[in-house]
Amino acid sequence: MDMPIPTRAGLQFRRLSPHLGAEVEGLDITRPLTPEQVSTLRAALGEHGVLFFRGQRFDHDSQKRFGRSFGPLAIHPNTPGPEGHPEILPIHADATSKVIAGERWHSDVSCTQEPPLGSILHIHTTPPLGGDTLFASLTAAYEALSPRLKTYLAGLTATHSGERNYRRRNALNGVDDRGRVFPSAVHPVVIRHPISGRPALYVNRLFTQKINEVGEEESEAILRLLYEHAERPDFQIRFRWEPHSVAFWDNRAVQHLAIWDYFPQTRSGSRVTVTGERLEAA
Ligand code: SIN
């Protein structure tokens, strides 16, 4: 028998797994939202980590308006958006692509001092098959660590850098980035989530370079262990896009991975990123 779907402020939330993810029904997010709808979505994002919406025909203005309901928008440090819309990050792959965004597990631009609160991705064109996105709960991953490992990680910090990822992407895309400097930042390895207060693991394969308080070999071994642990299937959900689906994820509570199994087909859309704050240790 289907579980009843909880309703808040006229919205229905269909949970997708025990640890994270809910599909939201009953709301047109391309139109201005009421303060009650915004606070309901904000609370739901804190509870579920990632929210999904279907059939939302965003243009750049309505996508930016929806994003701004949750805070100021950031401009991507490597890829500012098109003319008139610097906050829009195009997400596009086709038969000419050499690389896609987000092919390794990551939290968006964790290389910045104040990593984003969250990202809102609208995909308008989907391949006939594939192009799913995986999301994994960083709070569930932390909770499942052994008490001894939690004690070891307490107080450690890690350096995150955009250098390796952005230079690789630019080289593959034929973009000359000589003379450019990419952000880098130090964050606690275990953060206190700014809204829920829950501890979350905050390291990822794309941006984390090293744990600062231990030697290189130990840092590599611990990071490998944490990456593999956080990527366990039981902390994950897999989202299957339809044209005009939208995903809104909390960048401090989940990490994500885009799957490029559809080459040479086209997958296309755009993302906006809501600014966040400095992260505190748990
Ligand atoms: C991203 O990392 O923002 C891209 C995710 C996706 O294309 O599914």
Residue 80 lies in a domain: yes
Contact between 29 and 66 under an 8 Å Cβ cutoff? The reply is yes
Residue 226 lies in a domain: yes
pLDDT in tens, the chain (282 residues): 445 566 777 899 999 999 999 999 999 999 999 999 999 999 999 999 999 999 999 999 999 999 999 999 999 888 878 889 999 999 999 999 999 999 999 999 999 999 999 999 999 999 999 999 999 999 999 999 999 999 999 999 999 999 898 899 888 989 999 989 999 999 999 999 998 899 999 999 999 999 999 999 999 999 999 999 999 999 999 999 999 999 999 999 999 999 999 999 999 999 999 999 999 999
**Which residues, 6+ apart, have CB-to-CB distance to 168 below 8 Å?**
99
Which residues on neighbouring strands pair with residue 136, listed in sequence order? 236, 255
Residue 2 lies in a domain: no
Residue 59 lies in a domain: yes
In this prediction the pTM is 0.94
Number of domains present in the structure of the chain: 1
Residue 279 lies in a domain: no
Q: For ligand 1, atom 1, name the residue with the nearest CA.
A: 102
User: Domain limits at 159?
Assistant: 7-274
Q: For ligand 1, atom 8, name the residue with the nearest CA.
A: 258
Q: Read off the CATH number of the domain in which 45 is found.
A: 3.60.130.10
Ligand 1 centroid – CA 251 distance (Å): 12
Long-range contacts of 6-11 (CB under 8 A, 24+ apart): 8/40, 8/43, 8/44, 9/36, 9/37, 9/40, 11/37, 11/40, 11/41, 11/44
Whether 204 is in the pocket of ligand 1, judged by its Cβ within 6 Å, is no
Residue 1 lies in a domain: no
Annotated catalytic residue 256 = yes
Between strands 157-161 and 184-188, the pairing is: antiparallel
Q: Which atom of ligand 1 is nearest to the CA of 102?
A: 2
Ligand 1 centroid – CA 129 distance (Å): 16
Residue 281 lies in a domain: no
Does 264 sit behind a cis peptide bond, omega within 30 degrees of 0 on the bond before it? yes
Query: Please, how many CA atoms are within 13 Å of residue 97, restricted to the half-sphere of its CB?
Result: 19
Catalytic residue among 19, 85, 193, 271: 271
Residue 268 lies in a domain: yes
